[in-house]
Structure 1
Amino acid sequence: MNLIKTLLASTILVAATSAGAQAQSYPDKPVTLVVPFAPGGAVDLVGRFLADKLGAAWGQTVVVENIPGAGTLLATGQVANANPDGYTLLVNSATVTMSAAIQETPLVNPSDDLTHIGRIGATPLLLAVSPSLGVSNYEEFAALAKSQELNYATVGVGSLNQFATEILRSAAELQMVPVHYSGGSPAMTDVIGGHADLFYGSITQVIPHVREGLMTGILVSSAERSETLPDLPSVGELGMNDAIIENWWGLFGPAGMDAALVEKINADLNTVLQTPEMAEFLQRDGGRPIWGTPAEFTAQVQGEYATWRKVAEEQGIRPE
């Protein structure tokens, strides 16, 4: 019996030592970073900037692969089923908890089917409309949306855009229906062209088009006005506290990743997030970096997933 215990202890020690060595040498080949949206959107921009910084820190190439579709669940499912060796990672937004929340039995459960490596950052949302609507402020927009039905662009059923717009629609008693796209870039292109009326997306994603005069900024989704857009009212200022919402980005991997490897990637991620370059990239367009532990990120994902399941039921957001 003592021999068996000794052999078992030795096996465990060897496995732990091997896992620790693997984490320390990681990565020793290129890493794929999956983005679940089409190029040009907020998650894609954040993912590509992060890929460059992590690649430089690791001395390895980080290849960005765009896999849009199914409200991020297509890409998320592929990562969930990948080898948990750290060479296939996923950058996703709050949409990962929302798109799953509308499913009675989700294809991918963000709480259980992914490893939560760490948070990246967050940003309020900016509601912007097509210039063809002929409105220049929230009062004019609300009056129009009360008098006629408007089409709002989203990046898919169960996306952050849909949840945020439906919550605003309910709070302000507006008439709006969704039109779904594969990503933020094609969605905003149609708003700019007047084929859709509005888009409610991350400030970092929408603000370049507002600055260029291609879209008209209406409001931000925060409790107070944004320092980046001080002339626009916030939903909190307008008395719609239930409509306060922000987007966040996080780094995920397949379920079952070794704890030492997760800690290694999390530490490298946090180091990158605390660089002036990363802070400037996020803050110049209204976002901010957020770093922390895998456990903190897990608690956030699990909590929001439960919350959005309730909101989906209340707002009637269901797969089409």
Structure 2
Amino acid sequence: MAKTDRLYKIERLIRSRGHLSFQALQDELEVSPATLKRDLEYLRDRLGAPIEYDRDLNGYRFASGWGGPKHELPGLWFDERELYSLLMAHQLLSELDSNGVISRHLQPLLDRIHALLGGDEAEAAGLVRRVRIISPAKRPVPGSVFERVAEALLERRRLHMRYHTRGRREVGEREVSPQRLVHYRATWYLDAWCHTRERLLRFALDAIEAAQVREAKARPVPLRQVQAEMDAGYGIYAGGTPQWAVLHFDAQAAPWASREQWHAGQQGRWLDGGRYELRVPYVDETEIVMDVLRQGPEVEVVAPPALRERVRGRLAEAAARYAAPD
């Protein structure tokens, strides 16, 4: 029986029976006296369980009128492999968390995981160092901005912000009702109802120069509506009527293209000669053009004509930069 399973069983046995002798616990757990003694000490010293020995009852019970810190062992226990998985998940969150806000709030959980691992803590730390997550082109978000956005989202209150619209090179004041946080390609975004434009919009958190949580309640928008309006198109661009890009990958790229997810609603089929057709919905051609260009000569845009012409023009411009001088 794993250590975490034994700890849970000791807790459950004492709670259900009121008290148990050392021998009864040992028989139930089928462990040596030394192991049971270590487990009881671990519960008391490391997890704060108010377990005491009652001489009159000749058994272990929970102290009556416990005046110390509140003790409650979690109802969901993890074995060692699951704890290691949680450590790796924490490492992933740390990589997403360029401002350190999430990691700071999760630190108590991380400390508890290390405590549960006990003597395996050094091994756990070594495992984390052997996991590397590379997130290129990160756009850091100031910690104060992230905290204000998260606060407004969780408390369902309006957010006033000074926002830099990079496309128009303008800075303006916005009052929004946060609906959802989105992390996409190493960047954080906020889906929110904009009270200036009176519709759902997506804002990049790194473009928020200042933010303040208002007392006013946020305007509720059904999550299904948010998903329908914001997730229909390709990439981070939202809103508008979707069109379908039809892409043909050659036989060399087809094995990889057939396994990649460009969009949750994509469609694909195999063509003659080992080629692969991928159909992807999009509402703005900006991002899908960039991703098609990254594929080089291994992909061809078949439809629609406007997207095909846009990609052809960008490739011509790129080729012109490498043309030999006259």
Give the TM-score normalised by the residue count of structure 1.
0.22
Q: Which has the higher contact order (CA 8 A, sep 6+)?
A: 1
Give the TM-score normalised by the residue count of structure 2.
0.22
Give the number of the structure whose residues are more often strand, by fraction: 2
For the pair shown, the structure with the greater C-alpha radius of gyration is 2
